[in-house]
Copies of this chain bind each other. A is one copy, B any other.
Amino acid sequence: MAIVVQKFGGTSVSSAERIKNVAARITSTKAAGNDVVVIVSAMGDTTDDLITLLKQVTDNPDPREYDMLLSTGEQVSAALLTMAIHGLGYKAVSLTGWQAGVHTEDIPSKARITHIKLDRIQKEIGEGKIVIVTGFQGIDIHGDITTIGRGGSDTSAVVIAAALKADVCEIFTDVDGVYTADPRIVKDARKLKTVSYDEMLELASLGAQVLHPRSVECAKNYGLVIHLRSSMSDVEGTLIKEDKMEKKDVVSGVALDTNIAKVGILKIPDKPGIAAKLFKALGDENINVDMIIQSIHSSGAHADMAFTVNKMEMKKAVDVTNNVARELGAEGVVSDGNVAKISIVGVGMISKPGVAGTMFEALGKNGINIEMISTSEIKISCVIKAEQGKKAMEILHKEFDLGK
């Protein structure tokens, strides 16, 4: 008998009707002869509603109490889902994080899961029950409820699946898999049957945020197969699993991120520590910097520096950069919110030189100017004008023959 772990996000359980649909899908998996453990998020807007309420009470919430408050969301959806399953004539039981034995660090609101005590889950499975576990939460050594931060429920699902040595962890979402490019932009974008953990990590950190990087990392560590699929249909989604060495497309997908802005600081008198000064100042303001480029002027006495940030943080980043520029005696600060990042991702490019050249050439001959470049072993990203983003995606999808 296989063990299947299924995870349903907030949209999948946003109403009584949807909860019943999810219940039907779960029981069909059980009826097919599997042991089923389900991880569920809070219903639709519940978490936002709780935060609205919170903000009326305090501007500065205590993290422990914040977790106490927010963890109720999953408890509500888990209980309702369990009762919907009962209504279909199946045995089921809901468990909170602490009941399910999900132990975490004692760092409220961003605890990591340290270990899972499986006793209770296994007892319930042994009694033939479908087990519904609240995602996003656990318990620390003090007996306090913790939440595990961003990507929480996906991570809960992966960790519990790994502990149970589940055959597969099915993550249900509102897309039906990972595509070679955004199908809303590229007509012949193709759904990938499988994608490697590393590719998924790069894609997740780019535009294609269907799965939180943290959960992918975790699945990679345990060699757990994730099946990313649609909660609305029965079609097969995409399997995220370890590469087999023999295969490999050079490029697996193209991703576009339009939510970035570029900031530049010009003609900084060059001396040691200027980069540290700038990026420490940005870090102090909690501004997340993505790409960084430093270039030396021909004279050798000055450097230019450019970086990208989330578009929402551009203004704040410019303010911080202006302060640093003044201090360092730089000539000035420029910024541009009208840019996008186009990336190609593929494990195959590790052993295949010339991929970058092919990418740059394809863009160049189509009149797309590259403003910044950054590379990793399995990804190449270029910053270009925002209005050329979709065109660039189509060009690269075709260039690397991804629609085949």
Contact = CB atoms under 8 A, between A and B. Distances in A.
Contacts of A62: 82-83, 86
A145 B17 CA distance: 26
A80 B64 contact: no
A14 to B, nearest CB: 12
Interface stretch (A67-75, A195-203, A231-239): A67-75
Contacts of A96: 68, 145
A58 B87 contact: yes
Interface string A46-90: 000010011011101110111011011001101110111011000
Interface string A1-37: 0000000000000011101100000000000000000
Contacts of A60: 86-87
Contact of A84 (B57, B64, B66, B76): B57
Interface of A: 15-17, 19-20, 50, 53-54, 56-58, 60-62, 64-66, 68-69, 71-72, 75-76, 78-80, 82-84, 86-87, 93-94, 96, 99, 120, 143-145
The list of the 3 closest CB pairs from A to B, nearest first, reads: A16-B56, A69-B79, A72-B72
Given A61-B83, A99-B143, 20 more contacts: A15-B56, A17-B56, A19-B57, A54-B83, A57-B84, A57-B87, A58-B86, A58-B87, A62-B82, A62-B83, A65-B82, A65-B94, A68-B82, A69-B75, A69-B76, A72-B72, A72-B75, A96-B145, A99-B144, A120-B143
19 contacts: A15-B56, A16-B57, A20-B57, A50-B76, A54-B80, A54-B83, A57-B83, A57-B87, A58-B86, A60-B86, A62-B83, A65-B79, A65-B82, A65-B93, A65-B94, A68-B79, A69-B83, A72-B72, A120-B143
